[in-house]
Structure 1
Amino acid sequence: MMARKSRIILHGKQAANQELRDAVAAVREDGHQIEVRVTWEAGDAGLFAAQAAKEGVDTVIAGGGDGTVNEVLNGLVQVEGGSSALGVIPLGTANDFARSAGIPLQLEGALRVAVETEPVAVDVGRSGDRAFMNVATGGFGTEVTVNTNPKLKRLLGGAAYFITGLGRFSELEPVPIRLRGPDLDWEGKLLVLAVGNARQAGGGHVLCPDAVLDDGLLDIGVLPDVPEDQQSEAISALMTHGMQAVKDAALYWRVPWVEIEAPKGIYVNLDGEPTHATHHRFEVEPRRLKLHLPESTSLLTSSEHGSK
């Protein structure tokens, strides 16, 4: 059987990463065809991914953080009739998607998942003209992500989000919104919103603990407003242990689409792309893309997955 052709779309800051260079060399020695394209400026990852899809590259591998994964995803899905699968090498601060999917953080292991497993068809979330693979967030967690200092992220990794959050409790303000979808009509004030195709965001916060990538649904998680003297405790518990830590107060739905109306506007972080608006619509495109995942992943309902 002819070897698959793979292309890594690598974040420019990782061009000199010796561990990655060693991983590529080792996997090439096993006979795998791997090319590398390095980004230079904003938008390159999406452009390179779309170009690869048009050229018929079998697997396009996002080498970077969650933002790079999102850019490559959007480049792939914009190509009508494209058949390229997505792989992930986690090189970012939080690597939320890779962690929730069980993709190895060790770079050769992640690369081997991308080139040695059979890709599986997975859902893709969409908001307007933007696709997302992981979790869109709104409310306090999004404010933290948007305002976390990049230098602090480089020094402390995912812990930077937690430290920033601790320092912003005094700015906590519940957001009035209305959610509408199939069998869903809820109105109230919230502290945290999550729209999940996958499970975690913001540096390891598991906001949609039961989400899977192949059920044709989005998982909606909401932490509604709580009495003011309980707000900091609730947010701290969520940031430390995820939505499960506040499950008695949290609300949860599974829907193919949801519309969010926020009279005062709400920040929504879409896999690293923050936007502010009074209206957001999210929907799922079932089985829109093929993705390379480890056999041990918990993000699939299907058992038809394994190595080639």
Structure 2
Amino acid sequence: MRRQGERPGGPTMSSMTELRSKAEHTEAIRRDRRIAVVINTRSRRGRRHYFEVLDQIHALGFEPLAEFPVVNPKRLRAHLDRALETKPDLLVVGGGDGTLSSAVRHVAHRDVALGVLPLGTTNNFARSLGLPLDLAGAIRVFDTGKVADIDLGMAEDRPFANLASFGVSVEVAGTVKPWLKRVLGRPAYPLTALTILPGHKPFKAILTVDGKRHELLTDQLNIANGRFHGGWQVARDISIDNGMLVAYQLGSGKKLRLLGETLVRATTGRWRSLAGGPFVMGREMLLETEPPMAADVDGEVRLRTPIRLRVVPNGLRVMVPSEFEDS
């Protein structure tokens, strides 16, 4: 058995909870079928597919302990708490990355696996886990997949699964129109960025990693735990299970270059490699900016720089395809 601290916001991180081995946990899900389901029906595909999801889950022989359609996003956390009160082995959550980031904070460090249904626009977290993006494929993973422990990012005391970002993306997140996301999907974000960039001022970022200080001028800085941003892969060799955070900038303070990069990203989803940079990797990072800036942590704007970020190896238990490489 392995021990881990309870989630922030619940018992303190110093308190301990007992976790089954991953093999034992996988076997329990397949044998006992103890699951609870929470689906955000306000997500891009949630309302349209809610009953289809439940039908497919039942068809696989699961009889959920509880089923919660989330009509009011403000009630999401309450529904997650009620679902966890049924003591499932697998908590199935359907929605976009914002919905799943809330679920991550509830499940982190607990002896329950998170089952992911990708019902959003970009589905970065599902992509980082190597999950099928079609509903039938994602649901089959609950029956044929395995339990894995993946890394959890921490921005101060806030857990995050995928990304903390600073700069123009914070404005984009608050500006992009819901109807545009429904119509265009992933391209809605870079296209909205193109309308904001001409009036955006670059900022100075000071990143301290392993005692080394990195200074840069940029319009956008991202610190990633996952592999995807905006639905496109950041780099071939980023992993959500390598015990490292990766910081990278978009643009170098030069508007024309950043506009060009954004257009390429919107149209091609260009792959890059960590070996090709510019990337900074580390287990812990201190970020300072001039001027101080808001941080978008997995879709929530709650923190401001300076901010300390770190990775918690094996901080989150998830259900993944059997071929997922779990270190």
Scaled to the shorter chain, the TM-score interval is: 0.7 to 0.9
Secondary structure (helix, strand or coil) at the match of 2:137 reads: helix
2:40 matched to 1:11? yes
Counterpart of 1:22 in structure 2 is 52
Counterpart of 2:100 in structure 1 is 69
Distance 1:282 1:209, change over 3 A: farther
- Among 103, 108, 114, the alignment partner of 2:142 is 114
Q: How far apart, CA to CA, are the structure 1 residues paired with 2:232 and 2:175?
A: 16
Report the Cα offset of residue 120 of structure 1: 0.4
2:125 matched to 1:94? no
Q: Structure 1: which 5+ residue stretches go unaligned?
A: 303-308
1:66-215 aligned at under 5 Å gives the runs 66-77=97-108, 82-202=110-230, 204-215=231-242
2:315 matched to 1:288? yes
Report the Cα offset of residue 245 of structure 1: 5.7
Counterpart of 2:262 in structure 1 is 235
Q: What is the count of residue pairs matched by the alignment?
A: 296
Contact 2:293-2:304 within 8 A present in 1 as well: yes
Q: Deviations over 1:143-176 (max 9, x none)?
A: 3233111221122221211221222231232111
Contact 1:133-1:197 within 8 A present in 2 as well: yes
Root mean square deviation, CA, Å? 2.8
Q: What code does the residue aligned with 1:10 have?
A: I
Distance 1:226 1:249, change over 3 A: farther
Contact 2:197-2:259 within 8 A present in 1 as well: yes
Report the Cα offset of residue 51 of structure 1: 3.9
Q: Structure 2: which 5+ residue stretches go unaligned?
A: 1-27
Counterpart of 2:278 in structure 1 is 251
TM-score (norm 2): 0.80
Q: How far apart, CA to CA, are the structure 2 residues paired with 1:276 and 1:240?
A: 31
Counterpart of 2:247 in structure 1 is 220
Distance 1:110 1:258, change over 3 A: same
TM-score (norm 1): 0.84
Q: How far apart, CA to CA, are the structure 2 residues paired with 1:241 and 1:295?
A: 29
Report the Cα offset of residue 133 of structure 1: 0.9
Report the Cα offset of residue 97 of structure 1: 1.8
Q: Deviations over 1:244-300 (max 9, x none)?
A: 469898421221111111131223322111346231221111101211112344xx4
